[in-house]
Structure 1
Amino acid sequence: MIYACAYCPVDKQEAYRKRGYRDSKDVKPAERDRLFAALLEDPDVGFRSRIVSAEEISNANYSHTENRNLNEVSYDAATGLNRDVLATGINLAELYVDALGNCATYRATLQRLFPGICTIVVESKADVNYPIVSVASIVAKTLRDGITKNLPFKECYITINRNYGNGYPSTPAVKDWLMRNLDPVFGLLSAVQFNWGPVKKALADPKNGVKRVTWEHTMGTPEHKNKMQTKTKSIFETPVVTR
């Protein structure tokens, strides 16, 4: 996932609406590329982005120490972008945020975190209603498309077919790609978000041949528990010799 923010002088916002900046979902790829390229040459606008990888989202969701859902990851990304902009010395007078969950609660949180910002608006369809959010939407979507097309896989030791289309889990191309890259022992590649509905369904379906793993320390019999405790004790009591 890509999160982006954009900033410009308050009196320049409407100019971006006239130049064609709107919700990125309503803009064709070639036009998005053109609009993004124009931003790179525009002295009145700045933007920042935050890439949240599928692996990071999976780790946050399944962490034993700090289980965070996608909304919380999104909040952290958005507030982090605001902090980054403020840290550069930019004077943010107004803040417009596309809705993430409960708008009123989110707005109250932002007001507490950024008391120096006079106007804070959090609402659904902000990328439609506010030109500067439309600019950020174009940035995020353009970067996402580029990264998805050239997705870096950690698994460099195998040949990976890249016919996964736009990368959205609900599309047939992605569903087909998931099944073709499903390993019965290791599951799926690190670029896959493991808490996606289609992914969890694929891993749980016996017809896909996924192996069930029983971890020794989770088995309930006293014999197994004692055996595991003995193993752990022997590991920690093994002397370490240094020279």
Structure 2
Amino acid sequence: MISTSMLQRAKYNLNALSHDAAIGLVQYALDSGVQLKEVFVDTVGPAEKYQDKLSQRFPGVEVTVRPKADSLFPIVSAASICAKVARDHAVKSWKFAEDLGDVDTDYGSGYPNDPKTKSWLLKYLDPVFGYPQFVRFSWSTAQTLLDSKAVTVHWDDDEEDGEKAAARQNNTSVLSYFSRNKPSELTHTRDTHRFFTERKLKSINTL
């Protein structure tokens, strides 16, 4: 979910994802009939803005957002422990969607400075398909390994630096392809992108 959100065309970053998850948890508690009076949150991003955001969303709840809240408030420390235990359980009993054979489940801590985690990431990196769904592709550690170890992919719509500059100079609307005018009558002239020439595609003048 995190990878899909962060790598989609309209970026949905980790901060926004975390905020929405916290909002969802508080709303779930309220919908379940919990008499919620106070909420303590470890910040993601600027603490004051995050606190204002939560306070406006839940006007009947006293919200406290602080950096390193797990070291300041025992209730946040307890929540952090619960979250880590739940994560460790999910990781240990993970059911791989891919057929990886007898998978080594000694993943280490999941942090980039852990030798066991590094070893696992290198072992299960497929040069074409990357990682199984178990690994967050948007994680910078995974991206670095993919960039250095996986097969380089060239997309047909990739443009060279020169082509990008030319495209900016000749920024004609896509609607010009459907103009009733003949090509010679178009006000803008430009070289056709190789995507079209390689496939012998031409713009049409009439429908």
Please indicate the TM-score interval, normalised by the length of the shorter structure.
Answer: 0.7 to 0.9
Question: Cα distance, 1:197 vs. partner?
Answer: 2.4
- Given the superposition, is the C-alpha separation of residues 222 and 109 from structure 1 closer, same or farther in structure 2, using an over 3 Å criterion? same
Aligned to 2:131: 188
What amino acid maps onto 1:222 in structure 2?
A: H
Residues in 2 aligned to 1:223 and 1:108: alpha-carbon distance in whole angstroms: 51
SS at match of 1:216: coil
* Equivalence map 1:70-219=2 (5 Å): 70-117=14-61, 119-155=62-98, 157-159=99-101, 160-205=103-148, 208=149, 210-218=150-158
SS at match of 1:204: helix
Instruction: Give unpaired runs (5+ residues) of structure 2.
Output: 164-191, 202-207
Residues in 1 aligned to 2:133 and 2:31: alpha-carbon distance in whole angstroms: 33
Instruction: Give unpaired runs (5+ residues) of structure 1.
Output: 1-55, 231-243
Write the deviation string for residues 64-92 of structure 1: whole angstroms up to 9, x where unpaired: 1x312211111111111000000012121
Q: Tell me if structure 2 keeps the 8 A contact 1:217–1:225.
A: no
What amino acid maps onto 1:212 in structure 2?
A: T
Instruction: Report which of the two structures shows the higher radius of gyration computed on alpha carbons.
Output: 2
Residues in 2 aligned to 1:80 and 1:60: alpha-carbon distance in whole angstroms: 16
Residues in 2 aligned to 1:167 and 1:223: alpha-carbon distance in whole angstroms: 43
Q: Tell me if structure 2 keeps the 8 A contact 1:217–1:228.
A: no
What amino acid maps onto 2:63 in structure 1?
A: I
Q: Which has the higher strand share?
A: 1
- Given the superposition, is the C-alpha separation of residues 173 and 228 from structure 1 closer, same or farther in structure 2, using an over 3 Å criterion? farther
Residues in 2 aligned to 1:228 and 1:102: alpha-carbon distance in whole angstroms: 50
What amino acid maps onto 1:178 in structure 2?
A: L
Write the deviation string for residues 149-181 of structure 1: whole angstroms up to 9, x where unpaired: 2222221x2212222122223311111111111
- Given the superposition, is the C-alpha separation of residues 91 and 188 from structure 1 closer, same or farther in structure 2, using an over 3 Å criterion? same
RMSD of aligned alpha carbons: 2.1
Question: Cα distance, 1:228 vs. partner?
Answer: 5.5
Residues in 2 aligned to 1:144 and 1:85: alpha-carbon distance in whole angstroms: 20
Aligned to 2:7: 62
Residues in 2 aligned to 1:229 and 1:107: alpha-carbon distance in whole angstroms: 57
Residue 222 in 1 paired to residue 193 in 2? yes
- Count of residues in correspondence between the two structures: 170
Question: Cα distance, 1:229 vs. partner?
Answer: 8.6
Structure 1 residue runs of 4 or more that deviate by more than 3 Å after TM superposition:
217-221, 226-230
- Given the superposition, is the C-alpha separation of residues 229 and 91 from structure 1 closer, same or farther in structure 2, using an over 3 Å criterion? farther
Residues in 2 aligned to 1:229 and 1:82: alpha-carbon distance in whole angstroms: 56
Write the deviation string for residues 187-220 of structure 1: whole angstroms up to 9, x where unpaired: 1111111122221111111xx3x21222234467
SS at match of 1:100: coil
Q: Tell me if structure 2 keeps the 8 A contact 1:165–1:173.
A: yes
SS at match of 2:195: helix
Question: Cα distance, 1:227 vs. partner?
Answer: 5.0
Q: Tell me if structure 2 keeps the 8 A contact 1:107–1:122.
A: yes
Residues in 2 aligned to 1:227 and 1:86: alpha-carbon distance in whole angstroms: 59
Question: Cα distance, 1:94 vs. partner?
Answer: 1.1
Calculate the TM-score normalised by the size of structure 1. 0.64
